C-alpha cells in the first residue's frame, strides 16, 4: 500500500469550493488529517468481504411507533385562545407572498 499525500493545492481547492478561508497552518493540518483518512480507508479495503451482505447499520434498526388513532380535537376557541390576531375562526398572519399592499 502506498501512502497518498493530500497536497496543499488540493486542500486549497476544496476550501475554495466550500467557501472556507484557512491559514497555511490549517491547510497543512487538514492535509495531514485527510492523508490519514485516506490511509485508513485503504486499510479497510484490504479486508476480505466475500460473503458479507451489505448493510446500512451495524445493528438491526426498527421503528417502534404507536398506532395512529384519531383522538379528540381542540375546539376553534381552544386552538385560537393564544393567537396574537385572528379573523373569525382563523389565525391572522402577515402577508408573505406578493406585494404587501
In DSSP notation, 8-44 reads HHHHHHHHHHTT----HHHHHHHHHHHHHHHHHHHHH
Which pLDDT does position 100 carry in this prediction?
55
User: Is there a domain that residue 62 lies in?
Assistant: no
Domain count, the chain: 1
Please tell me the distance from the alpha carbon of residue 56 to that of residue 81, in angstroms, as a whole number.
46
All three cell numbers of 73, joined, read 380535537
Residue 53 lies in a domain: no
Q: What local confidence, expressed as pLDDT, does residue 4 receive?
A: 63
pLDDT at residue 29, rounded to an integer: 93
Domain assignment of residue 38, given as a range? 8-44
Stretches where the chain sits below pLDDT 50 are: 1
* Residue 3 is assigned to a structural domain of this protein: no
Residue 29 lies in a domain: yes
CATH number of the domain at 14, please: 1.10.20
Residue 20, in any domain of the structure: yes
pLDDT, residue 101, reads 55
Tell whether 56 is covered by a domain: no
Amino acid at each position: 500500500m502506498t501512502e497518498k499525500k493530500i497536497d496543499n493545492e488540493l486542500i486549497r481547492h476544496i476550501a475554495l469550493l466550500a467557501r472556507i478561508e484557512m491559514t497555511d497552518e490549517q491547510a497543512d493540518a487538514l492535509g495531514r488529517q485527510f492523508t490519514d483518512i485516506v490511509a485508513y480507508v485503504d486499510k479497510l479495503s484490504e479486508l476480505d468481504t466475500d460473503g458479507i451482505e451489505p448493510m446500512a447499520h451495524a445493528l438491526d434498526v426498527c421503528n417502534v411507533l404507536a398506532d395512529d388513532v384519531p383522538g379528540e380535537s381542540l375546539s376553534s376557541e381552544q386552538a385560537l385562545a393564544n393567537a396574537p390576531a385572528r379573523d373569525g375562526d382563523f389565525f391572522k398572519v402577515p402577508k408573505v407572498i406578493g406585494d404587501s399592499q
